[in-house]
């Protein structure tokens, strides 16, 4: 096998994408269950986008389509999941950058309660319009909070998905 991942076959490149997503999710679970950093609703939505990307990459690795159209479909689906993640993480970064007096009020309801009580569309609207608890910066590395790092990873993984899908073989 070639050492350069840019020259790997489609299956291995998809497996690498899935592995990166799983590693990021594992780190999020470590922070939650070992470091006791509870995720806010936007963090949970970002996890869902990573799970979607991991699933698409894993399916691409298992299927290994030979046709360019098949590879492009997997790349487009992974990039679509990344675009959702970019939108959620972008909103989260924006909330964290607001001055304290401009942060929307926190919802007194937890995400679990909202999902049990309201339709999914209404839950998403409530989380995106009034998630003051998401403005708290509980973790940072090199001066960037968790949402900024996830935003960076979404952009990198979207680029990876599109590159492996469009690459001539």
The arithmetic mean of pLDDT across residues 34-48, rounded, is 86
Task: For residues 84-90, give the mean pLDDT.
Answer: 92
Q: Which position has the higher pLDDT, 132 or 98?
A: 98
Instruction: Find the range with the poorest average confidence among 3-12, 22-31, 46-55, 96-105.
Output: 96-105
Of 27 and 145, the structure prediction assigns the larger pLDDT to: 27
Please name the fold of domain 9-166: Bromodomain-like (1.20.1550)
- What residue ranges do the domains of the chain occupy? 9-166
| Segment holding 70, helix H or strand E | helix 68-97
Distance CA 16, CA 82 (A): 15
Tell me how far apart the alpha carbons of residues 13 and 64 are, in angstroms, rounded to a whole number.
10
Q: Phi/psi of residue 23, each to 5°?
A: -65, -40
User: Would you say 161 and 81 are in contact if contact means Cβ atoms under 8 Å apart?
Assistant: no
Q: Given a cut of 90, is residue 83 above it in pLDDT?
A: yes
Query: pTM for this one?
Result: 0.78
Pair of tokens at residue 105: 């009020």
Q: Examine the pLDDT at 6 and tell me if it is beyond 80.
A: no
Per the model's pLDDT, the better-predicted residue between 125 and 54 turns out to be 54
More confident residue, 58 or 134: 58
Element (H, E) at 144: strand 144-145
Q: What is the gyration radius of the CA atoms in the chain, in angstroms? A: 18
């Amino acid at each position: 096998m070639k050492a350069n991942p840019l020259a790997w076959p489609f299956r291995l490149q998809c497996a690498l994408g899935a592995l990166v997503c799983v590693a990021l999710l594992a780190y999020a679970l470590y922070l939650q269950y070992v470091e006791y950093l509870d995720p806010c609703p936007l963090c949970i939505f970002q996890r869902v986008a990573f799970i979607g990307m991991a699933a698409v990459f894993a399916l691409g690795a298992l299927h290994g389509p030979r046709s360019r159209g098949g590879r492009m479909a997997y790349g487009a689906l992974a990039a679509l999941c990344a675009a959702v993640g970019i939108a959620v993480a972008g909103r989260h970064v924006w909330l964290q950058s607001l001055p304290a007096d401009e942060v929307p009020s926190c919802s007194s309801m937890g995400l679990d309660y909202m999902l049990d009580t309201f339709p999914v569309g209404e839950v998403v609207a409530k989380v995106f319009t009034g998630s003051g608890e998401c403005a708290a910066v509980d973790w940072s590395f090199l001066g960037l909070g968790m949402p900024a790092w996830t935003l960076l990873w979404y952009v990198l993984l979207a680029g990876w998905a599109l590159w492996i899908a469009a690459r001539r073989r």
